[in-house]
Amino acid sequence: MQADALTPIEKRTALSLSLVFALRMLGLFMIMPVFAIYGQHLIGYSPIWVGIAIGAYGLTQALLQIPAGILSDKFGRRPIIFAGLLLFALGSLVAAYSESVYGVTAGRALQGAGAIASAILALAADATREEQRSKAMGMIGISIGLAFTLAMVAGPILAPLIGLHGLFLITAAGALSGIAIVHFLVPHVISRAPRGETIAVPALLGQLIKNSQLQRLNIGIFILHLALTAMFVVLPLKLQNMHLSSAEHWHIYLPALLLSFILIIPMLIIAARKNMNKQFYLFAIVLMAASFIAIAFTSHSIATMFIAILLYFTAFNFLEASLPAFISMLAPAGAKGSAMGIYSTYQFLGAFFGGIVGGLSYKLVGSSGLFLCLAGLLLLWFLISWKIHNPSKIRTHSCTAKIKDEQHATLLTDQLLLLDGVLEVVVIIEEQTVYIKVNNQVFALAKAKEILGNQ
């Protein structure tokens, strides 16, 4: 087995956990493009309650994301994942059999209470080597993008046939299938990745929340998902008003999403090779703002609407891929798990508040006013992000070492700091782990491992 390739066990773990993540996200996303239309028969239906119902999962997810990760560290990854998927299935059934928008909202909130994202990522980290961990995380990230794409197509196709009731039943079946996948396909591992790389550490949270660079990224993911949820409170109705039936909405979503994936490939490649991650990040924010302005002023031309939605999905997919990578690169050494926990909390809070903003704005200023408000919010995000550091060259490595005591830890730290490209070293004696934050263009990992191995 080549050192730079995933082992069969690592590959099986990454693929099976990616499938579980995708099934869960498919259930959360599939309702978004159709609820505003097919929820009109529900008792208490209104634009505001459409938004609350769509985004309700975000509030419970945000509140429970970090606690669930910490519990998985104490009681094991699998029990927390099983419990979360059961809650998700139960919430889907509550929503499926509700006759009011309030019941659907309660079901969506219960879905979000199955907050297993951090436990799944931690299990993936446990089963992979440090040098291969980013590949496993990348596969899970891709699965989320594919789930979003499939949801944008499946929702409009299936809703006319089986209604909201059927969509929620499919979602419940997906959650139960996820339990079977974890039980039968995910390998049982007894190793545990360094805690700082995977799980939020409560003692670090206050310090990380105050970190100005991470603050800018957290605000970014909050606005990104607020805009996403708010958009789908209104967009299905806007397309319907353009004489495009709900069953035909996927004719817009699918080609736009597929083309957007093609368009972001050169953006990602150039950004990485030319060390222009920050520049493309800012460009994507402006591109999304432009797409909202175009949607706001489009009321008749399907072709213009398609181009606007294409620009939106291109910007969204680029930003969705870039933000977690930026967090990983800019987080202090040994605090990536905590930084990602805070990031996820902001992400899901954005989804929740997006539903409220979408419903209220639609009622007060109409669909065009909503999209113009979102464009203004995106420009505010652009200004906030102007002073973000370019993370192109930064990476954190975690290495195991036999650390005897504090004096030995200090010696290792001093030696590692002498290496070219080393920016920060954190030694955790209890975990026998050394975190090294580096400029990856000049840092030689082999030299660091040589120092750690010779001690």
Q: What's the fold here for domain 394-453? A: Alpha-Beta Plaits (3.30.70)
Of 73 and 235, which is predicted with more confidence? 235
Instruction: Find the length of the chain.
Output: 455
CB atoms within 10 A of CB 170: 18
Q: Residue 257's pLDDT is what?
A: 93
Q: What is the DSSP string of 47-76?
A: HHHHHHHHHHHHHHHHHHHHHHHHHHHHH-
Of 146 and 168, which is predicted with more confidence? 168
Instruction: Please name which of 88, 403, 78, 49 lies closest in space to residue 233, comparing C-alpha atoms.
Output: 49
pLDDT interval class at 57 (50, 70, 90): very high
Residue with tokens 């591992």: 189
Of 345 and 204, which is predicted with more confidence? 345
User: Which residues have C-beta within 8 Å of that of residue 60, sequence separation ≥ 6?
Assistant: 109, 110, 111, 112, 113, 115
**Chain segment 20-34, per-residue pLDDT in tens:** 999 999 999 999 999
Q: Residue 439's pLDDT is what?
A: 80
Whether residue 195 is predicted with pLDDT greater than 90 in this model: the reply is: no
Return the amino acid letter for 394. Answer: I
The residue-averaged pLDDT of 201-227 equals 92
**Chain segment 395-416, per-residue pLDDT in tens:** 778 888 888 888 888 888 888 8
The residue-averaged pLDDT of 344-361 equals 93
Phi-psi region of 445 (alpha: psi -120 to 50; beta: other; left: phi over 0): alpha
pLDDT interval class at 452 (50, 70, 90): confident
Average pLDDT in the chain: 89
Nearest 5 degrees, angle CA 220-CA 65-CA 47? Answer: 65
Whether residue 194 is predicted with pLDDT greater than 80 in this model: the reply is: no
pLDDT interval class at 46 (50, 70, 90): very high
Q: Residue 370's pLDDT is what?
A: 95
The reply to whether domains 8-243+324-384 and 394-453 share a CATH topology is: no
Whether residue 1 is predicted with pLDDT greater than 50 in this model: the reply is: no
Instruction: Please name which of 299, 315, 208 lies closest in space to residue 259, comparing C-alpha atoms.
Output: 315
**Chain segment 62-107, per-residue pLDDT in tens:** 999 899 888 888 888 999 999 999 999 999 999 999 999 999 999 9
Q: Residue 191's pLDDT is what?
A: 65
Give whole-number Cα distances, 156 to 9, 258, 293, 355, in Å.
37, 17, 25, 19
**Chain segment 270-310, per-residue pLDDT in tens:** 988 888 889 999 999 999 999 999 999 998 999 999 999 99
Integer Cα distance of 351 and 357 in angstroms: 10
HSE-up (13 A, CA, CB side) for residue 386:
6
Whether residue 131 is predicted with pLDDT greater than 90 in this model: the reply is: no
Of 216 and 401, which is predicted with more confidence? 216
Return the amino acid letter for 387. Answer: K
Q: Which helix (H) or strand (E) holds 439?
A: strand 433-439
HSE-up (13 A, CA, CB side) for residue 53:
32
Alpha carbon dihedral 405, 407, 408, 410, in 10-degree steps, equals 120
Integer Cα distance of 87 and 71 in angstroms: 16
Alpha carbon dihedral 222, 223, 229, 235, in 10-degree steps, equals -170
CATH architecture, domain defined by 8-243+324-384: Up-down Bundle (1.20)
Helix, strand, coil: what percent of the chain each, to 5? Answer: 75, 5, 20
Strand partners, 437: 396, 424
Of 102 and 363, which is predicted with more confidence? 102
Integer Cα distance of 56 and 61 in angstroms: 9
Q: What percent of the chain has pLDDT over 70?
A: 96
Q: Residue 326's pLDDT is what?
A: 86
Integer Cα distance of 79 and 87 in angstroms: 12
Kindly list the domain boundaries of the chain, sorted by start residue. 8-243+324-384, 394-453
**Chain segment 416-427, per-residue pLDDT in tens:** 888 888 887 888
